[in-house]
Amino acid sequence: MERIYNFSPGPAVLPREVLEQASDELMNWNGCGMSVMEMSHRGKDFGSILESAEADLGILLGIPPGYRTLFLQGGATMQFAQVPMNLLAGGSADYVVTGDWSKKACKEARRHGAVRQVADTEADGFTSLPSWSELDLDPDAAYLHLCTNETIRGVEVFDFDSLPAGVPLVADMSSHILSRPMDVSRFGLIYAGAQKNIGPAGICLVIVHEDLLGKAAEGIPSLLDYALQAENHSMVNTPPTFAIYMAGLVFKWLIRQGGLKAMERVNLRKAQLLYDLIDGSGFYNNPVRPDCRSRMNVPFTLRDPKLDETFLAEARLHGILQIKGHKSVGGMRASIYNAMPQEGVHALADFMAEFQRKHG
């Protein structure tokens, strides 16, 4: 069967070449006579897979010395708890709420200690970002948490340089990591669930500065202690080996594409095509403030929501799938991660224009 264009927010489309390589290597990885799924995580074969994945990620993101890269489990949701468990150290943290995910992160953190919510854009329907310089921040906070791309509403932070300095920044980058060059040194800790721009579900990437290690609350499960995971190369227990292998293939694919600068150029073009069409249509609408519209997740509504089901049914006939918006927002959402080819976005734009001609 021919592949369709998959606009899912995650688990999301993977690069075709990566799937083909994984398929070729499935039964017999690198001549060792077994699948990656079947090999010991302590053996030298898997050791080399993990090492390459880490090294390639370091090259792609330009991770500076002093940071540790961890491949953990429990998804980004586990990080909502694991971050405060490891970093609060009896102090307090500041949280910026700009969408459903940072709201969840803030709520979860409250279970683990003192948290101040220092911004909340819910009043405008999560369609904007706060003015960073006007936030009432605690200079003694253990960290400041934010989500740099809100997957559901499609709100993205572009200018990392203007983010507050002073306390370590902790960022949930699940849905836009690797979509463009990112200055890791601005952050104390970055986390990202894998199933959007990294690989299959099952791993959560954590990049943490060594200064933040060793502050874990007493009594937390050893599996959740960043310092212990760093000491054990993410292998306090058996890691999701196949998912790490797949992430490694995606990192190599990104390097072959020309790295994150090249990805940014393509991602910009893809997003611009959709936003221009939406804004010029008088039929589709995206309510997010233009300077913080996500390049990865493009939510939009139709003028008449009664047309939603027809849109979805006709889209399917054009090979356009998993584009239904989140239930809290309605309408549609086109998630156009790195692995969504430009042809896919063109196919969507052509279909949207045709749909409007027919039903508008």
- The contact set with ligand PMP (CB under 6 A) reads 10, 75-77, 101, 147, 151, 172, 174-175, 193
Q: Which of 29, 56, 101, 324 is catalytic?
A: 101
Which C-beta is closer to ligand PMP: that of 21 or that of 77? 77
Q: Is residue 196 annotated as a catalytic residue, yes or no?
A: yes
β-pairing verdict for 5-6 and 320-321: parallel
What's the closest the beta carbon of residue 71 comes to ligand PMP, in angstroms?
Answer: 13
Taking the least distance from each CB to ligand PMP, the nearer of 193 and 299 is: 193
Minimum gap (Å) between residue 342 Cβ and ligand PMP: 23
The residue (of 111 and 256) whose beta carbon lies closer to ligand PMP is 111
> For ligand PMP, which residue has the nearest CB?
75
CB of 200 to ligand PMP, least distance (A): 11
The alpha carbon dihedral of 131, 134, 135, 138 has a sign of positive
> Which listed residue (103, 196, 270, 324) is catalytic?
196
Tell me the residue type at 283.
F
Secondary structure (DSSP) of 199-251? SSTT-EEEEEEGGGTT-PPTT--GGG-HHHHHHTTT-SS---HHHHHHHHHHH
CA–CA gap between residue 271 and residue 298 (Å, rounded):
8
Closest approach of Cβ 81 to ligand PMP, in Å? 11
* Min dist. Cβ of residue 20 to ligand PMP (A): 26
> How far is Cα 219 from Cα 287, in angstroms, rounded to an integer?
45
Closest CB to ligand PMP among 39 and 150?
150
Q: How far is the CB of 74 from ligand PMP (least distance, A)?
A: 7
Q: Is the CB of 107 or the CB of 318 nearer to ligand PMP?
A: 107
Q: Which helix (H) or strand (E) holds 149?
A: strand 149-150
Burial class of residue 80 in the structure, from the number of CB atoms within 10 Å of its CB (0-12 exposed, 13-18 middle, 19+ buried): buried
Does residue 101 have an active-site annotation? yes
- Displacement of CA 36 from its chain's centroid (Å): 25
- From 172, 225, 253, 270, active-site residue: 172
Q: Which residues, at least 6 apart from 4, have a Cβ–Cβ distance to it below 8 Å?
A: 319, 320, 321
Query: Closer to ligand PMP at the Cβ: 193 or 344?
Result: 193
Cα separation, 30 vs 39, in Å, equals 12
CA 98 to chain centre: 15
Residues assigned a catalytic role: 101, 172, 196
